[in-house]
Amino acid sequence: SASAGTSTSDLVKKNALEAQQYNARFATIKATDACQGSEMACVEGAFASCVNGKWSVQKCSTGTQCFALPLVAKAGTSLACDTQADANLRFTDAGVTGGITGSSASGDS
């Protein structure tokens, strides 16, 4: 019998596509931009949370930067400090193209 719902690989791929959208949007945010509520984002490579309408930025450790990454066990994404290489690998493993933002170095624009 066929299983109901989506397989784990479908779920991870959906999460990865969502994470790519977040990363593409995060690339346009500056630390000086206004924010709303309790928003969280990656701003200029750093982890940022919205405090009183302004981004409170926390730098990642040396050699890492903030990315939205796909969760593998459930629906959604998480923000984490990671190396560029590991972050890219997570998207490749999830079965999506275009790297972290969905548009990098794929050759098809």
Q: Is 77 helix (H, G, I), strand (E, B) or coil?
A: strand
pTM of the model: 0.86
For residue 7, the model assigns a pLDDT of: 77
Alpha-carbon span 6 to 12, nearest angstrom: 10
Q: What residue ranges do the domains of the chain occupy?
A: 8-93
Residue 6's pLDDT band (boundaries 50, 70, 90)?
A: low
Which residues partner with 51 through β-bridges?
54
DSSP label at residue 98? S
